[in-house]
Every structure is written in C-alpha cells, then in structure tokens.
A and B are shown apart, each in its own frame.
Chain A
Amino acid sequence: MNYINIALPKGRLGDKAVELFEAIGIDCEEIKNSSRKLIFTDEKNMIRLFLVKPTDVPTYVEYGAADIGIAGRDTLLEEGRNLYEILNLRYGNCKMVLAGPAELKDKFDKLANKRVATKYPRIAREYFEHRRKESVEIIKLNGSVELAPLVGLSELIVDLVESGRTLKENNLVIYDVIEDISARLVVNRASMKMKSERIQWIIDELRKNIDMQIGSQY
C-alpha cells in the first residue's frame, strides 16, 4: 500500500492542523517532539506528514508530491493552483479586504489611476479586473502593507484583516470585502481518484470532527 502524503503549513495554521489530525487518530507524536526532521511517519495508518512553508502547500499538492494539504484560502487564491478544495476547516478565520484612508472612502472610485499595495498581487489583480472591471497598478510588498497609503506609495491596499485593529490605528478603513478566508483542506486531483477510499476516510473524519467542535461552541 502507498503512503498518503500530507503537506502541513509551518506555523499557527499547521499547529492547529496537527491537533485536528491527532483528533481523528493519526499519530502525530513525532511531529510534536522533533524540530529537525522533515518527514514524519505514522506507519500504522501509512501516513506521511511533512511541514513546508505555508505558501508552498498548494504547489506540493498540485504536483502530487503531497496527496493532501492544508492551506489558508488566501494562499490558495494567490497561488491559483489546480487542485480540489474539499473542506472548510473553519479556523484561521479572517477577511481579504480592499482598504484605504478613511477620507478617500467615497472618492476612491473616481481616481483615474489607482495604485494598490499588497502581499497578494494575484488576488488584487483578479479582484480589480474581474469584479471591478478596471486596470490598476499593483505594488507588491512583503509586509507592513498598511504603511503604503500613509507614505504615498499607494492609494489603496489589499490585505488580510483579522480584527481590524491595525487598520484602525492607522486611520484606514475597509472599502470592500473581497473574500472570507479560513483554513482549507486541499487534495491532489489524481490522488482523489487513485487513493480515493483512504482520502475520503480522512475527509469524512475531519468533517465529523469539525462539526462536533464548532457545534460544541454554541
């Protein structure tokens, strides 16, 4: 029997994913105790887990190097990979938004040329081209995107917002919500066919588990 390979994102999203897999009976002891190893194996269930940079998860899954992956919806949209997005894991919730200075809120539509600073150039471009039907200048940044409108690098930003506090502190407001973001379970297209029974089992178990957890919050 072949292994089922699972790519997990390093960091917060991955820690929570480990909890989820543990809850459905996959042995994750190794992953919690070791920091140097790259691949962790649950021989009993024939499952292999590996930790990768969050933005690389869709790549591993699309190529089939991983059968299953966990990634934020933001990463999936930005990478635009061809894979199955099967399950909303309902954690890591936030929003992808278009934002800018409060005083520009009612006027920004009239700007002849808009400059948009973002860590997500693809999402920003798709949003403007497809939903707003206009061309914009995208300025790709790697962090502190909120700074851009304050120092005149751009008029607008497209960014992830969790509580909205950073925006508020910098006198920025949300103009439009582009997407609701949360962690998703993705599956390689060929694996879904070739290893369907075992993958379906993982999906069903995770789904049950999440429904139970979310349900218990009420």
Chain B
Amino acid sequence: MPKWKIYTPDGVQDILFDECYIKKNIEAELRELFRRCGYFEIETPILEFFDTFTVDEESTPQESMFKFFDQQGRILVLRPDLTIPVARVAASKLKDAQYPLRISYIGNTFRYNESGGGRQKEFTQAGIELLGEVTPESDAEVISIAVNAVKTCGLNDFQIDIGHVGFFKGLMEEAGLCEQDMAQMRILIERKDFIGIEEIISKRDISSHIKKLIFNMPRLSGGIDVIDRVRKILKGPKTLEALDYLEELLKILEDYGLNDYVSIDLGMVQSLNYYTGIIFRGFTHGVGFPILSGGRYDNLIEKFGLRLPATGFSLGVNLVMNALERQQKCMDKPHVDSLIYYEKEGRKVAFEICRQLRAQGLVIQMDITMAGKERVKAYARSMGIGGIIGVLDEDLIEIHNLETNEIKRVSRSELLK
C-alpha cells in the first residue's frame, strides 16, 4: 500500500554529506558577508497566504505555486520567493523602521515548473534587500554585494549584466506601440527573437531610426560605449533618464573596482511589472541559467500598504553549487581527524582527551562499538582516518598511525600538547 514510502517527490532531493558540507559552508560565508555589509538577517515562514503572492502575477503565476488550505479553508502557499515576504514585513512589522533599512535572508523556496539543470522545485535563495532609498548609490551597493557574494562562493569567472526597465518602456512609448504589442515585444526581446521583432515592427508605423533601435535591442550590450551610442539616437525623456541613471551607476561601480564583472545589457526586459528601475542578472560557466538576479522595485511594498522604494538581489545557492562542480573547483569536504578507542580503565581519561582535542578544533570520533582494536582500525581505514588513539588506562595511550602502521606510546600530557 504505502508504495511511495522510500521515494522523494519529483523536484526535491536529499542533500548528503559532501554536498551538504559545501552548501552549509557557502551559506555561512554568504551570511558573514551580508553581516559585514550591515545587512541583518530575518526569517519569514515557509507557509504564507496565497494572497501575499498575488501582488506579482508575472513572476509568480498561480500555477507555479504549491498550494493547500488552512483549517478555515484559506489558500496557503509554500513561498515561491523571498523578496515578497520581505516586502510584506517591511510594510507591516517594520513600517516604523529607520531608513535606509538593510535586510538579508537565506532560505528555501518552492516552485512548480522549474526545469532541471540544477533547478529543483525546492531551492535555496540567499539575498539582500535595501529599502528606503532611490539613489544610484543604493543600487551600486546592492550590485557590489552581489559581485562579492559570487566571489565568496568561490566563483571567479562570472559576469553581471545590468539593464533598465525604463529604457524599454520609454522606447516603446516613443515607438507608439500599444500595450498588447509592448507585452509581446517584451517577450520577443527577452528571447532575442529577431525574427518575431522584425515581424511586429515592420507592420507598424514607426520612424526608421527607432525601428532600427528596437530591432537591435537584443544586441545592445557591452560597456559604457553602448550608452553613448544609443544616446545619440534617442530623444525621449524616459529613455534618456534611464541611460543617465545607468551611466551614473556604472561610474560608481567603477570606483568600487568592479569594472571587470559588470556590463550593460539594454535588451534585458524581464518582469517589467515588478521592477521599476535597474535590473541585473549574473551568469557563469557550467550553468545554463542566471545564478543571481535582482533590481529596483519601487512599487512592490506599496502593494502591502507602505510607499517605500527598494532594491535587492537574490542568489541561487544550488545553482552556484552546480557551477562550482562543473568548473571543478576544489571544495572542503567533511573529514575525521582521529578516532579514540579505550579500555574500561581508560574511559574517563579518553573522554577528557576527546573533549580537549575537540576544543582544539579537531574532528574526533569516539569508538562506541567496543569491538576491539582491530575492528576499530578497519573502520578507521575505511573512513579514511589517518590515525587512531587508544586509551588503555590512565597513563597508557597508544597512537596508531594507520598510514605507516607505526605505534607510538605517549603520556596524556604529551598527547595534548
């Protein structure tokens, strides 16, 4: 009857020793980085009301969420995202906070429709949100922390692309495209579907220089020169404002010393209802998806009742781990430094030695099989433990080097030196 009892559901998985060790180390280092940057962590529930996530149907459509009911019949979801819960908290429990407010989180999120390649239905996101400021300096701070977060994880070869939703919106206005065309154009540009783009603009009455620019939008990426090139063609206030902002942002990032990691991509147009200003995504080798994404979302918190500008990013921890593996980065693995076995006469001393060695930072396992020296040795060898310690009585301690098969007798004080 219980035929599924030894399986896990599709899209979730067990994370075992080596992988778990690496993952927790990454999380610990990210947490440390966020703290040093003055971002303090909050935890929000894994369960939320469905209503909370209806504020952004574009990036969390209802079919992407795990749903069920509470005892009163209200719809609950497993959180598909962590920015929205942060926005909810900011507008409610933190509404009297001092701004700018800096928040960080590390937690698991859940989504259907996630395809594989390292993307599971349950995945860990680590990120920050900076609330209450509209300056380019705040966006630059968030991007600089994003760069450092990726580096902290051990990835050096990566790129962060920055765009601005105001550029696309402004350009569509200048072209005079209707809402529906605009929605379709967004998808086409996002997919870099030149064929589809051409189809739409060729049918519309748009001045030729704007036509050319729209057609080339998916290709408008690179350094600061891209901005200069485009600025010569455009006249609209919205597009120019977006370009000025991006230029200022790039200059700040240059002073952060991050030139090598960031570039402009004006063809980036995801989640236009959610983001209101700059948007960015991070890519690296070995993973086909963006490992991080972020941007400015000045209208989101207002949907929870507080007008508050905000900017932030989140990093996919599982994707980063995939990248580390594919790029064959050497990562720390769990290991045991030594194993202690004892005769009854030495038990108390054995526990004391164990306590002191652990306090010195060593990883020590105690023998609990009481099956004798040979069994302990065999176990230790199979675990890759280099040496074991035998406490025969209060004064007689043997150190077995399992690599050279040498046995050394020492006193307690010699051992703990």
Contact, CB under 8 Å: A190 / B192: no
A189 within 8 A of B: yes
Nearest-neighbor residue (CB-CB) of B194 within chain A:
A86
Nearest-neighbor residue (CB-CB) of B160 within chain A:
A193
Q: Which of A162-207 contact B (CB under 8 A)?
A: 184, 187-194
Given the complex of chains A and B, what is the CA–CA distance between A96 and B288 in angstroms?
A: 29
Chain A residues near B286 (CB-CB < 8 A): 64
Interface of A is mostly: mixed
Chain B residues near A84 (CB-CB < 8 A): 191-193, 218
Given the complex of chains A and B, what is the CA–CA distance between A2 and B327 in angstroms?
A: 11
Q: Which of B243-302 contact A (CB under 8 A)?
A: 283-290
Nearest-neighbor residue (CB-CB) of B322 within chain A:
A64
Contact, CB under 8 Å: B117 / A194: no
Chain A residues near B192 (CB-CB < 8 A): 84-86, 187, 192
Chain B residues near A63 (CB-CB < 8 A): 115-117, 288
Q: Which of B366-383 contact A (CB under 8 A)?
A: none
Contact, CB under 8 Å: B283 / A62: no
Choose from B116, B194, B287, B290 the contact partner of A87 (Cβ within 8 Å): B194
Chain B residues near A189 (CB-CB < 8 A): 283, 288-290
Given the complex of chains A and B, what is the CA–CA distance between A64 and B283 in angstroms?
A: 12
Contact, CB under 8 Å: B115 / A62: yes
B161 within 8 A of A: yes
Contact, CB under 8 Å: A64 / B194: no
Interface residues of B, CB < 8 Å — how many? 21
Known contacts A193-B161, A194-B159, A64 near B287 by CB under 8 Å: yes
Contact, CB under 8 Å: B159 / A193: yes
B195 within 8 A of A: yes
Q: Please tell me the size bucket of the interface on A.
A: 20 to 34
Given the complex of chains A and B, what is the CA–CA distance between A61 and B191 in angstroms?
A: 13
Contact, CB under 8 Å: A190 / B283: yes
Contact, CB under 8 Å: B288 / A64: yes
A83 within 8 A of B: yes
Contact, CB under 8 Å: B284 / A190: yes
Contact, CB under 8 Å: A62 / B191: no
Nearest-neighbor residue (CB-CB) of A196 within chain B:
B221
Nearest-neighbor residue (CB-CB) of B157 within chain A:
A194
A198 to chain B, nearest CB (A): 13
Chain B residues near A64 (CB-CB < 8 A): 117, 286-289
A194 to chain B, nearest CB (A): 5
Cβ proximity bits B143-184 to A, threshold 8 Å, 1 near / 0 not: 000000000000001010100000000000000000000000
Known contacts A64-B289, A190-B290, A193-B161, A85 near B195 by CB under 8 Å: yes
A56 to chain B, nearest CB (A): 13
B205 to chain A, nearest CB (A): 23
Choose from A82, A88, A194 the contact partner of B284 (Cβ within 8 Å): A194
Chain B residues near A187 (CB-CB < 8 A): 192
Contact, CB under 8 Å: B283 / A194: yes
Chain B residues near A141 (CB-CB < 8 A): none
Which of B115, B194, B288, B290 has the most chain A CB atoms inside 10 A of its CB? B288
Q: Which of B112-148 contact A (CB under 8 A)?
A: 115-117
Besides A63-B288, A85-B191, A88-B194, 15 more A-B contacts (Cβ < 8 Å) are: A64-B117, A64-B287, A64-B288, A82-B115, A84-B193, A85-B192, A87-B194, A187-B192, A188-B288, A189-B289, A190-B283, A190-B287, A190-B288, A190-B290, A193-B283
Q: Tell me the A residues contacting B by CB distance below 8 Å.
A: 2, 61-65, 81-88, 184, 187-194
8 contacts between A and B (CB under 8 A): A64-B288, A65-B288, A81-B115, A84-B192, A84-B193, A189-B290, A192-B192, A193-B159
